[in-house]
Structure 1
């Protein structure tokens, strides 16, 4: 049974039983404390915890998920994958244990010919929570599962919670027994790979608090509305139904293994380690492709770093298979062909995905070459120091800074007859992970407890009326101060105000929040920020400027009209720049993020090379031409699928409802899904002035523009500057560039002449300095202060010339100068001095210590410096002392 067919049967089964079919949410998690959607329940959290009323009583979906905590297990176990698909059926206060259990059993054991999965009941085991008599009774007495195949387990295995106060409850897991060839008898309680978990039924029936550990918490109450959250691993069911050994060999993944085998010339199934590498490639290529489909691009932080790691691990695995040339050009199309039947949106987006992947592969192959050179140097220095162990901090630097894999470092070190201080490396990695976890925990703590908004959201959505008006009357539904609901706030307080209606735009879709005020009888509130803490609810962060306000008071929201006008100009300009980029560069130049506020817009877009000045000007000209054409800006509210059918652009990673707002500027030329505020006609934008274009990663660029009056002011400032330059240079405007070029050329010629004069002057000082040579221990030494010099290079040239003049007898030259107000000392030794054991590095370091700084270098020439020029004489005497 193909994976797509398993998915279809599951969704049809529950749709026939009254479940609303919900499309998969993005892999970019809507929860700001998570990088990714790590489980099927993530998109439903607001419904499960009661923060947002569910729009349907029961639902079914197939959710895309990414987990990388077990990335080292990928390829080594039969069931660990970074990207996976979780089939789920959900009840929000509707049905509970009995229906969830019976339906799961019915779907699993119904014959394939009758629309089920056709599992033999004799192969299925079940676990329940140790105290859940009700679930065990349903399995035993109503489903008819023999008691010996029902096992009770504890909190660690069969109790679900988020780790935060809120809903929790027991769960029941269904396992498939693969048979004695795969492990010992004894059921799932053995923890053996023989028993594969395929379905988890979570029964959220309690509210918990004061969580001290997974097993130690307080049960506050039984929930009035009990929820069911189930998850069935699509890949796990697929590998069992397709009769293969692991998830990597199912129809959606195996083709990439075959491609890796073909490229490497190594048969799959012949060598365990090679098999693991091919499975890693198959998993990571698919995972990376699906991440890029949802708009994530490789980078050095956050989601982008996870994507980069997956791509680089794929390159590394192919190298270990003996393939050093690029392979993504074949691996990614293979994965696309395997996944497109389930995700047809891959096809139109694939050229962008392939370009991102190939650029990252090319970059990392160069990194491997450069990292190998750095590692070779480290190996050589380790040998020279007489050590057989490569330092752990060197391995960590290569891994953390250069992206050089630790297994490759271990391999190269082993080839050189060295070991790696793995203990030190692991300690540094653990410290890094600890910092990352602390940061994630801090981010989680920084988020307000969203439960405070639940009672407000239960009363309905905040009506946003700001598209058509700037002022509206409303009523105060709630006040939140320091994370808690309060009845009133007074003069000077900073708090959040929840209203029934508002005209103040909450920050979203790249558009900054409106500025303005909220006023009512006897009070005035200055609006500091406007946000949507939970879906459908608008919160106004305010400071009380006058009076006192209480829950239930009348209120009036007033938007600053000048700020709103500037914001609408900037947002509409963002759409024009996006459309102009796609017209000039092609459809691959897809928006990857934006920010706009009054007078300014910033757009990130998928592209891997800088825009030429001509291209940048062309984009700007096209956008301003559209402004001049006075195009009508049309907004429509319509079903999502209808908007997509009309070619509306959607922002990757953005979550859209069934009904969306579509903004047209010039018809299909610029047609995007957007909830922001816009001008009525393009001419209202006024002017767009592109002021910057830069890189934000190997595969993303950023374009920045001033808009409206801000754009004009920038042009006016440039005009004044040009006028002033023309007056100063005494040439007309059109001759300024050539005149500046002439002056620059003259300046360079003068600098060359001056540098030559200075070299001659320095050379003339050499004889006099050489005559100052005197005996110092076993060598002849020149230890002198030479005053102020332009650069350390001048001092270095002087030192080496004096050394060369002293002849073949052991000699040391240490000269000190002030460069830019700071003391510098350079020491040089000749071959005879070095043979006598006198080295420049330690002498420069000693002098630098006296100067209050640091230094060192090679045995023949070394440099030191500090911060106290008054101690130059003492530093030279310290060198003399060392020589003596």
Structure 2
């Protein structure tokens, strides 16, 4: 059975049994505890936590997931995968253990002609939590499992929670016995290679505290409503139903390996386990990388971007180790697109952008490999010069961590030079880095604070947002909150949260700042609204400062948006859409927005792009944007479902979560169509002028445009005009001649600086003869060691040292020059004559003699060494230390 058919049957079974089908969420959700969505239940967390009422009593989804905790283990075994699909069925306070077990057992064991998967019931086992007698009895009653095929396991295996305070509950897992050829008998507790887990049922009923029941600690309470979260691993089921040994040989993964075989001429499963690991890394990471980029991540050096970069670079590394030197990521991307797009059609429609990002990252990494190779060669040369045969672990780690140079390529190149690598030292440093990363991730994890006060208010109904139609709304105060506690009232000067049943004030979302405004009562109380946020996307929470009077729960109020603020806010948000559309028109459809922020008069827009925009391109984007403003394009709003929005070609923002009914904002019809909940102008001309401030990098593969709109754009242009006029007056030329005159002045200044530099360098070198004449004899060696004038840079200092050395002639000689710089820094150069080197005096080996005195670092070859130190006050001591070292040589 093909993988796409496995997914279809799961979805249809649960839809037929009253579950609402929910599309997979993006891999990128705003969750402080997760880099990527790693389980099917993540998008439903607000419902399990009770932070919001579930829109349906039961749901089903096929969720794309990425787990990256063991990237380095991928490929070494056939059980580790970074990308996988989790088929899930969920109950939000509806059915519980019995029906969950009934559904799982029926779908697994029903014949394929009846829509099931046709697993042999006699080969299925179940596990239950240590003391879950109820689940054990249900397995016997519903599935007819004999007790010897139901095993109890402790919390580490059969208790689920999110790793932080919040919901949890016992698990029950279903395993398939693959037969004695795959391992020993005895059920899952004996061998999880033979007995393969295919389904996990979580009976979510507990609230865990700081200490997890996984470690034997008791829950601190019970959830108000019991929930079901069950998941079936699509890839694992595919491996079983397709009769292959592991997921790498299934219909959606094996084609990537086949492409790697075609390109390398080597064969997977041909008896070379090292090659097999590389094939599996390529297959796994190609799918993961493609899916992650598809959801809006670009390679970078932090967080998600860094994980993506590691995945893509591991592919390139593995392919090179298979003997392929040419670029490959585009080829693998095409295979993943063809295999995965039946389930994820966006991979086909968005393929040009995805492939472009993968290709550019590969180009960057190939350049990194070239520079890393040069750094390795220098390190290897020094080892050979010093008569050593082992590359230190810290140098291998530096190559890996700083330059992105993989350790296995370091090992390979070292072997080619007849050298070894201190792998133990490297692994220790890697382990320290992982420990720091895990500690950092743990420090960012947060529990789910007490949201009960908002749950109480949500139970009274959602806040009705009226701000699309009006700026003033009559409303009722349904709750006053401070520090998570309900208040009956508050007086002048107090800061608190006010929840209304209706409001025209926009809550911060979609990159748009919240509205400014006021809330007033009939008795004369005035509350200044300083912020508006949404809880569970349903409840508007107004943070206010009571300016006068008193506010009480239940009071009738008037909520009013500051009209000037709203005018500017609409201009900023509509301007963002216009600039985005202009960007795509100029650069092409791959230049997709990846983030934005807008407020009255200002906008910024982040987008995926690998290089800086030329001045001509920025001018074109600005011109296209202002042409759209001048054309007075109509702005319309269409409400539809996600399928309808996709048919319209509406752009969805990466990482955003959308309701079943979505709002599409059109500017000029198809020219700009985006899913958006923000406030907008009625016609593009109301945006006013758009003036780009600049464009900059916000990480590898990501750029940022900033602009003023409306009156703020006018003020900015007025300042620019005044600046040009002032310059023209100072230079006594017309405005249009200012650029040429400034360019001429800059050229004259540069020429003058070059002439001064030549004079200074000449004067410096002219002193070489005098310095050589001052050489002192130290045990037959001519030593020139002294402090030269401050501020001489490394290049000039090196030239002077070499010239002094040349003046020493054929005698043994050592030249050591020091120059103090800013902040107590010091630069130094050591040069030796050929005769000195013949006598065993190597420049690089003399540095340690004086380095402690100036807190120096650096080194070099026998003839020349240079570096820097942090203690210029120790130069005198350094000269003495060098003299002493020569005297004792």
TM range (shorter): over 0.9
**C-alpha deviation, 1:430, in angstroms:** 2.8
Change (3 A) 1:854 1:227: closer
1:146-545 equivalences under 5 Å are 146-209=146-209, 211=211, 214-271=214-271, 272-445=273-446, 448-451=449-452, 453-483=454-484, 495-520=496-521, 525-543=527-545
Q: Distance in 2 between matches of 1:795 and 1:342?
A: 65
**C-alpha deviation, 1:243, in angstroms:** 1.0
Asked whether the 8 Å contact 2:164–2:445 carries over to 1, the reply is no
**C-alpha deviation, 1:43, in angstroms:** 0.9
**TM-score for both structures, normalised by structure 2:** 0.92
Asked whether the 8 Å contact 1:627–1:685 carries over to 2, the reply is yes
Q: Distance in 1 between matches of 2:385 and 2:549?
A: 77
Query: Secondary structure of the residue that 1:402 maps to in structure 2?
Result: coil
Residue matched to 1:67 = 67
Asked whether the 8 Å contact 1:367–1:404 carries over to 2, the reply is yes
Residue matched to 1:729 = 731
Asked whether the 8 Å contact 1:453–1:534 carries over to 2, the reply is no
Kindly indicate whether residue 745 of structure 2 is the aligned counterpart of residue 710 of structure 1: no
Asked whether the 8 Å contact 2:184–2:191 carries over to 1, the reply is no
1:631-642 equivalences under 5 Å are 631-642=633-644
Q: Distance in 2 between matches of 1:530 and 1:273?
A: 57
1:843-854 equivalences under 5 Å are none
Match of 2:592 among 580, 590, 608: 590
**C-alpha deviation, 1:567, in angstroms:** 2.3
Change (3 A) 1:775 1:545: farther
1:231-289 alpha-carbon deviations (Å, 9 max, x no partner)? 11111111111111111111111111111111111122212332232222112111111
Q: Distance in 2 between matches of 1:692 and 1:132?
A: 62
Residue matched to 2:670 = 668
| Greater Cα offset, 518-527 or 439-448 | 518-527
Residue matched to 1:833 = 836
Q: Distance in 2 between matches of 1:125 and 1:851?
A: 70
Q: Distance in 2 between matches of 1:524 and 1:844?
A: 73
Q: Distance in 2 between matches of 1:786 and 1:325?
A: 51
Asked whether the 8 Å contact 2:816–2:831 carries over to 1, the reply is yes
Match of 2:810 among 795, 808, 811: 808
1:597-676 equivalences under 5 Å are 597-676=599-678
| Greater Cα offset, 665-674 or 863-872 | 863-872
1:108-155 alpha-carbon deviations (Å, 9 max, x no partner)? 111111221111111111112222222222221333222222222222
| Greater Cα offset, 432-441 or 548-557 | 548-557
Asked whether the 8 Å contact 2:200–2:230 carries over to 1, the reply is yes
Q: Distance in 1 between matches of 2:192 and 2:869?
A: 64
| Greater Cα offset, 28-37 or 471-480 | 471-480
**C-alpha deviation, 1:847, in angstroms:** 6.6
Change (3 A) 1:387 1:89: same
Asked whether the 8 Å contact 2:166–2:447 carries over to 1, the reply is no
1:166-200 alpha-carbon deviations (Å, 9 max, x no partner)? 43322221111111111111111213301111111
Q: Distance in 2 between matches of 1:523 and 1:515?
A: 17
Asked whether the 8 Å contact 1:787–1:817 carries over to 2, the reply is yes
**C-alpha deviation, 1:326, in angstroms:** 1.2
Change (3 A) 1:507 1:406: farther
Asked whether the 8 Å contact 1:481–1:495 carries over to 2, the reply is yes
Kindly indicate whether residue 145 of structure 2 is the aligned counterpart of residue 140 of structure 1: no
1:729-770 alpha-carbon deviations (Å, 9 max, x no partner)? 222222222223333333333334333443444454444444
1:38-117 equivalences under 5 Å are 38-117=38-117
Tell me how many residue pairs correspond in the alignment.
884
Kindly indicate whether residue 716 of structure 2 is the aligned counterpart of residue 720 of structure 1: no
| Greater Cα offset, 106-115 or 173-182 | 106-115
Residue matched to 1:10 = 10
Asked whether the 8 Å contact 2:154–2:214 carries over to 1, the reply is no
Change (3 A) 1:820 1:267: closer
1:788-807 equivalences under 5 Å are 791=793, 793-807=795-809
Query: Secondary structure of the residue that 1:295 maps to in structure 2?
Result: coil
Change (3 A) 1:279 1:484: farther
1:347-380 alpha-carbon deviations (Å, 9 max, x no partner)? 2111111111111122212222222222232233
Change (3 A) 1:301 1:824: closer
Asked whether the 8 Å contact 1:360–1:698 carries over to 2, the reply is no
Q: Distance in 1 between matches of 2:603 and 2:867?
A: 48
Change (3 A) 1:541 1:130: same
Change (3 A) 1:812 1:31: closer
Q: Distance in 1 between matches of 2:64 and 2:85?
A: 5
Query: Secondary structure of the residue that 1:61 maps to in structure 2?
Result: strand
**TM-score for both structures, normalised by structure 1:** 0.93
Residue matched to 1:577 = 579
Asked whether the 8 Å contact 2:164–2:446 carries over to 1, the reply is no
| Greater Cα offset, 433-442 or 665-674 | 433-442
Change (3 A) 1:502 1:216: farther
Q: Distance in 1 between matches of 2:879 and 2:774?
A: 14
1:118-137 equivalences under 5 Å are 118-137=118-137
Asked whether the 8 Å contact 2:477–2:498 carries over to 1, the reply is yes
Q: Distance in 2 between matches of 1:784 and 1:79?
A: 64
Q: List gaps (5 residues or longer) in structure 2.
A: none
Q: Distance in 2 between matches of 1:819 and 1:304?
A: 38
Query: Secondary structure of the residue that 1:214 maps to in structure 2?
Result: helix
1:628-651 alpha-carbon deviations (Å, 9 max, x no partner)? 222222223333322222221111
Change (3 A) 1:848 1:563: farther
Asked whether the 8 Å contact 1:210–1:218 carries over to 2, the reply is no
Asked whether the 8 Å contact 1:851–1:869 carries over to 2, the reply is yes
Kindly indicate whether residue 774 of structure 2 is the aligned counterpart of residue 772 of structure 1: yes
Query: Secondary structure of the residue that 1:472 maps to in structure 2?
Result: strand
Q: Distance in 2 between matches of 1:877 and 1:222?
A: 75
Change (3 A) 1:488 1:217: farther
Asked whether the 8 Å contact 1:825–1:844 carries over to 2, the reply is no
**C-alpha deviation, 1:55, in angstroms:** 0.7
1:414-454 alpha-carbon deviations (Å, 9 max, x no partner)? 44444433333333323322332333233223874445533
Asked whether the 8 Å contact 1:692–1:704 carries over to 2, the reply is yes
Asked whether the 8 Å contact 1:599–1:711 carries over to 2, the reply is yes
Change (3 A) 1:766 1:350: closer
Change (3 A) 1:136 1:631: same
| Greater Cα offset, 863-872 or 717-726 | 863-872
Asked whether the 8 Å contact 1:825–1:847 carries over to 2, the reply is no
**C-alpha deviation, 1:808, in angstroms:** 1.8
| Greater Cα offset, 722-731 or 220-229 | 220-229
Asked whether the 8 Å contact 1:826–1:844 carries over to 2, the reply is no
| Greater Cα offset, 337-346 or 214-223 | 214-223
Query: Secondary structure of the residue that 2:138 maps to in structure 1?
Result: helix
Change (3 A) 1:463 1:746: same
